[in-house]
Amino acid sequence: MIRAILYLIAAVLLISVLRSVIGIILRGFAELLHPSPSAAARPSSQPSGGELKKDPVCGTFIAAATSIQKKVGGQTYYFCSPECRDKFK
């Protein structure tokens, strides 16, 4: 009878240890697949001092630093994507 109780306690301990180990492993995988928001939030706060330029094709405003630029006849045009730049021709 005492043996049965000991087995039960051992089983409960084993299960709780396994659960915590699996939890740690799963959390590690989740962080690999979905990087923590603090790291992902950093790029969004980039060049706030950048000038905003208007895409002449679709009308979107983009930061000059991150836009695609094309010089036509001495004037520089700013595009949001290569597709818009190609459409401008």
Binding site for Zn ion (CB under 5 A): 55, 57-58, 60, 80, 84
Evaluate the CA torsion angle 32, 34, 36, 41 in order and state its sign. Answer: positive
Rounded Cα gap, residues 46 and 55, in angstroms: 20
CB of 16 to Zn ion, least distance (A): 56
Residue (31 or 86) nearer to Zn ion, CB: 86
CB of 83 to Zn ion, least distance (A): 7
CB of 82 to Zn ion, least distance (A): 10
Residue (74 or 82) nearer to Zn ion, CB: 82
From the number of C-beta atoms within 10 Å of its C-beta (0-12, 13-18, 19+), residue 57 rates as: middle
